[in-house]
Amino acid sequence: MLKKEVEKILQYVQKPGRYSGGELNSVIKDPEKVDIRYAFCFPDTYEIGMSHLGMKILYGLVNERDDAWCERVFAPALDMEELMRKNNIPLFALESGDYIKNFDLIGFTLQYELSYTNILNMLDLAGVPLFSKDRTELAPLVCVGGPCACSPEPIADFCDLVFLGDGEESTNQVLDLLKECKHAGKSKQYFLSKAKDIRGVYVPSFYVDSYNNDGTLKELKPINGAPEKVKKAVVSDMNSVYYPKSFVVPFIEIVHDRAVEEIFRGCIRGCRFCQAGFIYRPIREKSVETINEQAKALIKSTGYDEVSLCSLSTSDHSRVNEMLTSLIDWTVKEKINLSLPSLRVDNFSDELADKLNKVRKSGLTFAPEAGTQRMRDVINKNVTEEEVMRTCNKAFDNGWTTVKLYFMMGLPTETMEDIEGIADLGMKVVEAFATNPNKQKGTSVQVSISCSSFIPKPFTPFQWEPEDSMESLRAKQKHLLESIPTKKIKVSYHETPTSLLEGVLARGDRRLSAVLYDAFKNGCKFDSWDEQFKFDVWMEAFMKNGIDPYFYTQRRRDFSEVLPWDHLDYGITRKFLERENIKAHENVTTPHCRIKCAGCGANMLNGGHCDARNKN
């Protein structure tokens, strides 16, 4: 229920549906009958946050419990925030309308580094002290999780707990402990001393940082009995783990407004730039039967007419053709659109093209990632130009006329010749359509090239590499545009100043908490939105704290250097990453996991088991 003071201001904001709550399948409970109230916060607007699968899973998981109530909280847009501050309205949860400063647990998902100032802004708007040391009571506890939690040091001073890896089991264990401590009248320090023993839970205040004279990290020393290494949590069986039977259905249009079925976690590929491909290992698949059962339940409970299959590489499911056949059987009959993102060019078979022909045709998206074979070998993409062209021709044979190609710029060892290769590959796709004998008469092709700036990330073979400079990236962007000879190719790319900040926060240490705080105090928020990004304010915050941002981005790290995430165990061994880095500089590839196990070590987090390992 919205409070009267909130109702009054909604008439003055754009999209009041962002703040009203009451959507289909939202969960309402009696606050007097639950022990734990959990505010699940997404540090961006409603439309973006409501598209996030992780929130849907944990929202349903917590609300399955009789003793806990999970409610949703999103970053208010600028117009709403202004009115909330003017009228002294603290940040509230959508389901109850209650202020989250009175909740037991306030959790943020870290999907991208440029959302960090939004976390501080939301805590400030809620009336919750920003620094962990200033929150002395047991509640509210502030926790974070998600992909960026694998390198949480830049926000460590603000967090009480960090969830590493899969949250389905560790979340329930933390809630059980919090309930027990609350009823027994235990202190926050007592709670943290017990929480540190839960697998997948990292307590930043139990680690003390120190630095060498050259500014590099000397150590993160555990205190209070904390472990030297904190292991991430791993869900072993994707068929039995919790998955929601219903999603909250929004009143307003969101970014991905459809049912989503996760088909597996992890990735077999080992692309050296891809953090997700390593931190979500080991590979764990759902069965075809489970996928169908869960997808049907979601369609029935939500009324959606589209279901999207979610994974890092949909066509890498070991039973992909069987899965698609069974899904198409009922989705076509019920007029449900089946969306298949994350397809790879090297396993786009005739059988797969035939299956896709039975569902609604949209543009096809592939990610060659680099324009030349040398560069694709460096990043271990294991895709050839012949495979790209064969796939495009198959698509044109089957009636597709739009192709989107994803590339990266600023990769290690990249040259201007590699940039020209992006344009050349786009041109070859255009020419392939022009000469395709099976294309529909009177149609033309549209090739979209999207180029993101490469940012080295933790737990990848490129974690030691320098990031390309803003000047170099701008020169490469200009060269790419000059290399495109036709209007049939559209090029888009990311602005570079945000890439600098993302690179700093991705591989930064605990000293950045002070920079983050000062940037927020001086008006930084929604940093991922170009129109809101305040580059000069960030540079002032770095200068004030005596920190050079380029120390984190443009410096090659030695293999012997202590990295700010070395105390976190995501299963990928450092020796494996070092080997892969050396092979990258030799232009040598590593076969994917189903061809040959490369011994990354992730299976050891799962009792030695990995769905990608050869079972013979």
Mean pLDDT of 304-325: 91
Q: Express each pLDDT in 437-447 by its tens digit.
A: 888 788 889 99
Strands 141-145 and 105-109: parallel
Mean pLDDT of 373-399: 91
Strands 306-310 and 337-339: parallel
Mean pLDDT of 26-49: 98
Mean pLDDT of 574-581: 98
* Pick from 291, 295, 232: nearest CA to 264: 291
Rounded CA separation 8/132 (Å): 34
Instruction: Give kind and range of the element (H or E) at residue 221.
Output: strand 217-222
User: For the chain, how big is the Rg over CA atoms in Å?
Assistant: 24
Q: Which residues contact 592 (CB under 8 A, 6 or more apart)?
A: 268, 269, 270, 382, 612
pLDDT band at 339 (very low <50, low <70, confident <90, very high): confident
* Pick from 166, 160, 165, 164: nearest CA to 178: 160
pLDDT band at 366 (very low <50, low <70, confident <90, very high): confident
Q: What is the pLDDT of residue 615?
A: 52
Q: What rounded mean pLDDT belongs to the chain? A: 94
Q: What is the pLDDT of residue 367?
A: 87
Q: What is the pLDDT of residue 395?
A: 83
Q: What is the pLDDT of residue 443?
A: 86
Angle value at C-alpha 337, between 333 and 341, nearest 5 degrees: 140
SS3 content of the chain, % helix, strand, coil (to 5): 40, 15, 45
**Residue 349: pLDDT over 80:** no
DSSP 335: T
Q: What share of the chain has pLDDT > 90, as a percent?
A: 85
Residue 100 and residue 106 in contact, taking contact as beta carbons nearer than 8 Å: yes
pLDDT band at 397 (very low <50, low <70, confident <90, very high): confident
Structure tokens at 142: 């502030």
Low-confidence winner among 202-211, 286-295, 428-437, 556-565 (lowest mean pLDDT): 428-437
**Residue 616: pLDDT over 50:** no
SS3 at position 343: coil
**Residue 496: pLDDT over 60:** yes
Q: What is the pLDDT of residue 340?
A: 76
Strands 36-42 and 68-74: parallel
Q: Which residues contact 25 (CB under 8 A, 6 or more apart)?
A: 246, 247, 248, 249, 301, 302
pLDDT band at 613 (very low <50, low <70, confident <90, very high): low
Give the amino acid at 177. Answer: L
Angle value at C-alpha 146, between 20 and 410, nearest 5 degrees: 115
- Where do we find the tokens 């989503």? 260
**Residue 78: pLDDT over 90:** yes
Report DSSP letters for 383-449, one per residue: --HHHHHHHHHHHHHTT--EEEEEEEES-TT--HHHHHHHHHHHHHHHHHHHT-TTSPTT---EEEE
Neighbours of 90 (CB within 10 A): 16
Q: What is the pLDDT of residue 606?
A: 87
Q: Express each pLDDT in 147-188 by its tens digit.
A: 999 999 999 999 999 999 999 999 999 999 999 999 999 999
Q: Express each pLDDT in 106-153 by its tens digit.
A: 999 999 999 999 999 999 999 999 999 999 999 999 999 999 999 999
Longest dimension (CA), the chain: 76
Residue 75: phi and psi, rounded to 5, are: -70, 120
